[in-house]
């Protein structure tokens, strides 16, 4: 076995330097690295490894030029023939024919770099499919929307639900107007309370410095302080009213309108795929058209299920929103009426009772608190 390998090596074409010295050749990592290089990027013509019998040959046919300790020279080689310098692994196989014969063909292991490239390629393909589906869906929906705008396409309409949605949008606009006016009232009334507080301090100061008008200034100072206290109580009630209306408008109603937007998008997709299915159904029935028709039927059914589910969700949310709106507004309007009436009637006891009735707690006078505007 060893003589056969040596005779095969002697007939190979080996690069020879000017003086026959191979010690200056670049180092190689051996058999496994050569196989990986070929599998990943193809053969490298700049390598100095010698491959016999092509890429599918046995491991003994590959003689790398790394870790050369000595040169194996064929005893009967012609004069001027080059010397073959096998690697340590090849030398051991030559020295032990049984081990070389038992090793057989070595199966190449998959390259880790190749596995990484497969993962990256799979991710790229997946992203491409997502973008492709998004592009097709956007095209169909845009086409359907333009057809509806110009009156050429049909549109699915639920008259009862559409009426309720439009009523909700109109109600939200009116409640936003009420909220804006209530905030303006809070701002103006806060300025009034601050002015009354400053005026009461001025009357109290003058009552001490004007003995001849001490009693008159004192009465007015007490009156302004009482109005200021009642005004702060009323501000607490109005601020609670504003906070509740803000929650109803900008959270509860807005959440329902977000579901409505999803429903309208699903409706547009449903009509787009319905139109696409109708157009395919009216066309010729060949093998290609039948496959496209089956795919269109599947997409249409999927979007139909989504549309019907969102339509049911919108109907339920509109019902609950109406019940919640009536309950919240009944409480808040009663609070607003009682507080305003008690304040302008000068009934301090009824005003404080109104706040206790609706569980509104004011901070103690000595506690630091932000302005009513900052709490909005």
pLDDT digits (tens, 9 = 90+) for 300-326: 899 999 999 999 999 999 999 999 999
Q: Which range has highest mean pLDDT (4-8, 14-18, 250-254, 355-359)?
A: 250-254
On whether residue 224 sits in a domain, the answer given is: yes
Which residues on neighbouring strands pair with residue 84, listed in sequence order?
72
pLDDT at 256: 95
* Higher pLDDT, residue 320 or 358: 320
DSSP letters spanning 202-230: HHHHHHHH-GGGHHHHHHHHHHHHHHHHH
What proportion of the chain, given as a percentage, has pLDDT over 90? 35
pLDDT-derived band at 121 (thresholds 50, 70, 90) equals confident
Specify the residue for token string 């200056």.
24
What proportion of the chain, given as a percentage, has pLDDT over 70? 65
On whether residue 317 sits in a domain, the answer given is: yes
Mean of pLDDT values over 45-53: 40
Structure tokens at 373: 């505007």
For the entire predicted model, the pTM comes to: 0.59
On whether residue 17 sits in a domain, the answer given is: no
On whether residue 15 sits in a domain, the answer given is: no
On whether residue 16 sits in a domain, the answer given is: no
Structure tokens at 289: 């058209």
Helix 159-209 and helix 214-247, axial crossing angle in degrees, nearest 10: 160
On whether residue 58 sits in a domain, the answer given is: yes
pLDDT at 288: 72
pLDDT-derived band at 116 (thresholds 50, 70, 90) equals confident
pLDDT-derived band at 364 (thresholds 50, 70, 90) equals low
CA 254-256-258 angle, to 5 degrees, is: 70
On whether residue 3 sits in a domain, the answer given is: no
Nearest to 237 by CA among 353, 140, 92, 319: 353
The C-alpha atoms of residue 318 and residue 216 are separated, in whole angstroms, by 60
The C-alpha atoms of residue 240 and residue 246 are separated, in whole angstroms, by 10
Helix 287-344 and helix 159-209, axial crossing angle in degrees, nearest 10: 30
pLDDT at 370: 53
- 145: domain range? 29-374
The C-alpha atoms of residue 152 and residue 147 are separated, in whole angstroms, by 5
Q: Which range has highest mean pLDDT (25-39, 78-92, 271-285)?
A: 271-285
Convert the pLDDT of each residue in 156-203 to its tens digit.
888 999 999 999 999 999 999 999 999 999 999 999 999 999 999 999
User: Length of the chain in residues, anyone?
Assistant: 376
CATH number where 247 lies? 1.20.1270.60
Q: Is the pLDDT of residue 37 over 50?
A: no
Task: Give the up-direction half-sphere exposure of residue 361: CA atoms within 13 A in the CB hemisphere.
Answer: 2
Dihedral sign, Cα of residue 24, residue 26, residue 29, residue 31? negative
Helix 112-149 and helix 31-41, axial crossing angle in degrees, nearest 10: 20
The C-alpha atoms of residue 71 and residue 60 are separated, in whole angstroms, by 17
pLDDT at 44: 42
DSSP 84: B
Distances (CA, A) of 164 to 158, 171, 260, 284, 293: 10, 10, 11, 42, 36
The C-alpha atoms of residue 175 and residue 244 are separated, in whole angstroms, by 11
On whether residue 205 sits in a domain, the answer given is: yes
CA 158-164-166 angle, to 5 degrees, is: 95
Task: Show Cβ contacts of residue 345 under 8 Å, excluding neighbours closer than 6 positions.
Answer: none
Convert the pLDDT of each residue in 137-154 to its tens digit.
788 778 878 887 887 778
pLDDT at 27: 45
Mean of pLDDT values over 245-274: 93
Q: Is the pLDDT of residue 28 over 50?
A: no
Q: Average pLDDT, whole number, for the chain?
A: 74
Q: How many domains does the chain have?
A: 1
């Amino acid at each position: 076995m060893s003589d056969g390998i040596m005779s095969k090596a002697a007939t190979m074409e080996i690069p020879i330097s000017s003086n026959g010295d191979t010690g200056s050749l670049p180092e190689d990592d051996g058999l496994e690295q050569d196989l990986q290089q070929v599998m990943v990027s193809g053969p490298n013509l700049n390598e100095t490894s010698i491959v016999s019998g092509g890429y599918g040959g046995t491991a003994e046919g590959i003689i790398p030029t790394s870790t050369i300790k000595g040169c194996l020279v064929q005893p009967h080689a012609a004069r001027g023939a080059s010397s073959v310098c096998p690697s340590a692994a090849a030398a051991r196989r030559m020295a032990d024919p049984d081990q070389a014969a038992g090793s057989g063909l070595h199966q190449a292991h998959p390259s880790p770099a190749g596995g990484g490239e497969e993962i990256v390629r799979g991710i790229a393909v997946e992203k491409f499919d997502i973008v492709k589906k998004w592009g097709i869906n956007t095209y169909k929906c845009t086409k359907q929307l333009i057809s509806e705008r110009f009156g050429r396409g049909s549109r699915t309409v639920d008259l009862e639900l559409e009426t309720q949605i439009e009523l909700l949008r109109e109600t939200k606009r009116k409640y936003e107007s009420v909220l804006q006016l209530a905030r303006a009232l809070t701002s103006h009334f806060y300025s009034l309370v601050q002015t009354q507080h400053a005026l009461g301090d001025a009357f109290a100061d003058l009552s001490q410095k004007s003995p001849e008008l001490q009693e008159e200034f004192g009465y007015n100072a007490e009156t302004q302080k009482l109005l200021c206290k009642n005004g702060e109580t009323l501000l607490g009630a109005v601020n609670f009213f504003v906070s509740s209306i803000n929650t109803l408008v900008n959270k509860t109603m807005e959440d329902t309108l977000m579901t409505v937007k999803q429903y309208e998008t699903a409706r547009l997709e449903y009509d787009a795929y319905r139109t696409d299915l109708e157009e395919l159904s009216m066309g010729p029935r060949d093998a290609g058209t039948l496959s496209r028709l089956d795919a269109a039927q599947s997409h249409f059914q999927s979007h139909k299920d989504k549309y019907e589910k969102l339509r049911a969700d919108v109907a339920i949310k509109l019902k609950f929103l109406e019940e919640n709106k009536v309950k919240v507004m009944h409480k808040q309007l009663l609070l607003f009426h009682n507080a305003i009436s008690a304040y302008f009637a000068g009934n301090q006891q009824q005003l404080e009772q109104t706040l206790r009735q609706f569980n509104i707690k004011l901070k103690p006078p000595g506690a630091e608190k932000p302005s009513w505007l900052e709490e909005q």
